[in-house]
Structure 1
Amino acid sequence: MFWRGVLGYLPVNIAQGVVGLLTIVLFTRVLTPEQYGVYALAFSVLSLTQTVLLTWTEAAMARFHARQDADGRLPDHFATLYRLWFGLALVAPIVAAGVLRFAPLSAPMKVAVAAAFAGAVVKSLAKLSQERRRAAGEVSGAALLDIVQTVGGFVLGLVLALVGLGGAAPLLGMGAISLLCLVFVLPAELRRSTGGRYDPAMAKAYAAYGVPVALSLVLALVLSTTDRFLLAAFLNEQAVGVYHAGYSLGSRTLDVVFIWLGMAGGPALVAALERGGHPALKDAAHEQAGFMVLLTLPAAVGLALVGRPLAQVMVGPDLSAGAGHVVPWIAVAGWLSGVTTYYLLQAFTLGRKTLMLIGCMAIPAGANVILNLALIPRFGLDGALWSTAASYGVGAVGAALLGRRACPLPVPWAALTRCGLACALMAAAVLAVPAFGGVVELILKACAGAVVYGVAALALDAGGVRGRALDILQRRLKPA
């Protein structure tokens, strides 16, 4: 199931990667630094609203689908979840009205925040459909829905930015396309609850599982967004724009790989545990972890090494210098965040001990707030960067230690060691390339790094890549 998902979700992640980079390239040029800062803050509001109110129903849809399918209770499953979702969604406009009425926001910021609240609701409802498809193994359907939202939202957001809607434009584009997708997918999804009934006991079980997941994700958002709000408070929206441009360039580049693996890996781990117990889970998790390290560690190291020329090529001239300084720090933080989110924290959802997630995420979130309050006033942008990297490091260590009490997952020490050595050789090759600047430096360093890492990984059999490559080759050469 894992490898089928890896291949099936590859087009999604190609689309997300391309759109993510184009978002940085074009919106940092079409929007002013202040407008880009407004967009960054409003996007944080969207993420926070969706997570606080609605994400726990999405988590329950994904985690309990296999169990309810085996018990023949899928109609009750859908009826219960959709009733819960619609009840929670009614809270969003009430909160939005309060924020827009009483918060001291500028007019452009109010428009962007209003778009964020509306977008959170429609994106979450579309997310329910996507999580159902993923849990059911409908890879192509889930992939198509994601691609349409990603590409369509970007294109419409860009058009709206070009006609002068400022920092609200990307959010309006995302929300409008998600709403359009719902016109086509929601009727069929709601019909799946036909014959089902709302089950209070089922709802209680879903809340017991999903609410702690949502609270932990709120803390994760505190960890990832506090720096922007504090930069706006202590500095200005332009500083937020610089930080968000570099942060997006670093994190989105890595997120493409982590989300790809997570889309395939999460359902595969649940299926392995439900069908084969802990022995099957251990084998599946070890395979996934080794493959994750093989792909993501060199991506993070390479990103840190080419941060400056990458920003010169990808980010608008008003933001590129500052963004280039941000990227290497975010490469470190992004790798720690990805490994924590898409592997280490799986222990708590697999073990259905999601209350522990809250404590696990409270530690790095609290550290991030304290460090940002202490360092941003004194060191400005650098203070936010140091705080972010340190906080994610604390979070990774905490998740690894606490996760062993929930559902022990193997740590791929051999893959970490061999991939780390291959990355060291890659770094030496990249640093030997002169700093020409711009696209020439970026291409030469990227090519040198990719070749050296590829050769070293094969020679060291990092992450079992040599055995897997030979297996694929043998299958292709085997007579039909």
Structure 2
Amino acid sequence: MFWRGVLGYLPVNIAQGVVGLLTIVLFTQILSPAEYGIYALAFSVLSLTQTAFLTWTEAAMARFLARADEDGRLPDHFATLYRLWILMALAIPVVAAVALRFWPMPAPLKVAVAAALAAAAVKSLAKMSQERRRAAGEVSGAALLDVIQTVGGFALGLVLALVGLGGAAPILGTGAVALLCLVFVLPTDLKRLKGGSFDKAMAKAYAAYGLPVAFSLILALVLSTTDRFLLAAFLDESAVGVYHAGYSLGSRTLDVVFIWLGMAGGPAMVAALERGGQPALAESAREQADFMVLLTLPAAVGLALVARPLTEVMIGPALREGAAGVTPWIAASGWLSGVTTYYLLQAFTLGRRTTMLSACMAIPAGANLLLNLILIPRFGLSGALWATTASYALGAIAAGVLGRRACALPIPWEALARTGLACGLMAAVVLALPDLGGLLELILKAGLGAATFGGAALLLDAGGARARLAVLTRRFRTA
């Protein structure tokens, strides 16, 4: 199931990667630093709202669909979840009214925040449909829905930015395309409620599982967004724009790979646990962990090594200089965050110990808030970077230690050691190359660095590189 998902979600990965890079390239050119900062703040509001009110129903859809199917209670599963979703969505207009009335903010930011609050509900309902398909193993349907929202939202947001809607444009584009997708997928999904009824016991179980997941994700968002709000408070929106540009370049590049692996890996581990117990889970988890390290660690190291020429090519002149210093730190933070979120924290959801998940996430979130309050007033952007990296490192340690109490997942120490050695060889080659600047330097360093790592990984068999290459080659030929 894992490898079928890896190949099936590859188009999503490609689309998200291309759109993520184009978002940075084009929006940093079209929007001013202040407008880009407004977009960053509004996007944070969208994420926080969706996570606080609705994400727990999305999580329950994914986690309990296989069990409901085994029990022959799918209609009750859908009827219960959609009623819970409606009840939670009714709170969003109240939050919107309070925020827009009492939060002192300039008019452009108010428009962007209003768009973000409206888009949160629409995106969540589309996410429910996507999670249903993903949990059911309908890889092509889930992938298509994701690609349409990713590409369509970006394209419409770009058009709206060109006509002068400023920082609200990307948010408006995302929400509008998600709404369009619902026109086509929602009628079919609602038919699955036929014959089902709201079940209080199901609702209680879903809430007991999903609400701690949502709370932990809120803490994760606090961890990833607190710095932007504090930078806006202590400095200004332009500083937020510079920080978000470098942050996006560093984290988005890695997020695409982690999300791709998570799309395939999460359902595969749930299926392995439900059908084969702990031994099957351990085998599936080790396979995923080795492959994750093999793909993502060199990506993070490589990103840090080419940060300056990459920002010269990808980011607009007004944001370029500051973003170049941000990207290497965020590459480290992004790798720690991805490994924690898409592997280590899965122990709590697999073991249904989601209360422990919340406690685990509270550790780095609290540390991040405290460190940002201490460091940003004294060191500005640098303080935010140091706080973020230290907090994610602390979060990875906490997840690794506490996760073993919920559901023991293997730690890929051998893959880390061999892949780390291959990354060290890559770094030695890249650092020896001249600083030519711009696209030429980027192509030279990225090309030779990738070739060096690839050869070293195969020589060392890092993360089972030889076997992985053989498996993927066979499956691509079959596909």
In structure 1, the residue matched to 2:54 is: 54
TM-score normalized with structure 2 length: 0.99
Q: Which residue does the alignment assign to 2:212?
A: 212
In structure 2, the CA distance between the partners of 1:441 and 1:196, relative to structure 1 (3 Å rule), is same
Looking at structure 2, the residues matched to 221 and 446 of structure 1 have their Cα atoms a distance apart, in angstroms, of: 31
What is the Cα deviation at residue 465 of structure 1?
A: 1.1
Report the equivalent of 2:35.
35
Deviations 1:173-210 (A, max 9, x none): 00000000000000100100100000010000000000
CA offsets 1:213-265 (integer angstroms, 9 cap, x no match):
00000000000000000000000000000000000000000001000000000
In 2: Cα distance, 1:109 partner to 1:134 partner: 35
| 2:165 alignment counterpart | 165
The 1:476/1:206 distance shift into structure 2, 3 A limit, reads closer
- The CA deviation string for residues 369-412 of structure 1, in whole angstroms up to 9 with x for no partner, is 00000000000000000000000000000000000000000001
**What is the rounded CA distance, in whole Å, between the counterparts of 1:257 and 1:33 in structure 2?**
28
Match of 2:420 in 1: 420
Q: Find the aligned partners of 1:473 and 1:176 in 2 and give their Cα distance.
A: 39
Q: Which amino acid aligns with 1:130?
A: Q
Aligned to 2:260: 260
CA distance in 2, matches of 1:289, 1:468: 12
Residue 476 of structure 1 deviates from its aligned partner by: 9.2
Q: Which residue of 1 aligns with 2:17?
A: 17
SS in structure 2 at match of 1:197 = coil
Partner of 2:443 in structure 1? 443
Secondary structure of the structure 2 residue equivalent to 1:192: helix
Instruction: Tell me how far apart the structure 1 counterparts of residues 6 and 471 of structure 2 sit (CA, whole Å).
Output: 17
Q: Structure 1 residues 322 and 472, CA, compared in 2 at 3 Å: closer, same or farther? A: closer
For 2:269 and 2:473, the matched residues in 1 are separated by 27
Matches within 5 A, 1:74-473: 74-470=74-470
| CA displacement at 1:466 relative to structure 2 | 1.2
Within 2, Cα distance between the matches of 1:356 and 1:197? 31
Which whole-Å deviations, capped at 9, do the CAs of 1:79-133 have from their partners, x for residues lacking one? Answer: 0000000111011011101100111011001100000000100000000000000
Q: How big is the shift at 1:470?
A: 4.1
SS of match in other structure, 1:318: helix
Amino acid at match of 2:135: A
| CA positional deviation for 1:359 | 0.7
TM norm structure 1: 0.98
User: What is the CA–CA distance in structure 1 between the aligned matches of 2:452 and 2:443, rounded to whole Å?
Assistant: 14
Q: 1:460 to 1:368 in 2, by over 3 A?
A: same
Letter of the 1:325 counterpart: G
Structure 1 residues 359, 327: closer, same or farther in 2, change over 3 A? same
Q: Distance in 1 between matches of 2:475 and 2:41?
A: 50
Separation in 1, partners of 2:472, 2:240 = 46
Shift of 1:472: 5.8
| Aligned partner letter, 1:337 | S
- Give the letter aligned to residue 324 of structure 1: A
- Distance in 1 (alpha carbons) for counterparts of 2:368 and 2:243: 16
Read off the aligned partner of 1:379 and give its amino acid letter. Answer: F
Runs of 5+ consecutive residues of structure 1 not aligned to the other structure: none
The separation in 1 between residues aligned to 2:384 and 2:130, in whole angstroms, is 34
Amino acid of the structure 1 residue aligned with 2:59: A
1:412 maps to a residue whose letter is P
Distance (whole Å) between structure 2 residues aligned to residue 110 and residue 36 of structure 1: 14
RMSD: 1.2
> What is the DSSP-based 3-state SS (H/G/I as helix, E as strand, rest coil) of the residue aligned with 1:257?
helix
Query: What do residues 338-383 of structure 1 show as CA deviations (whole Å, max 9, x unaligned)?
Result: 0000000000000000000111000000000000000000000000
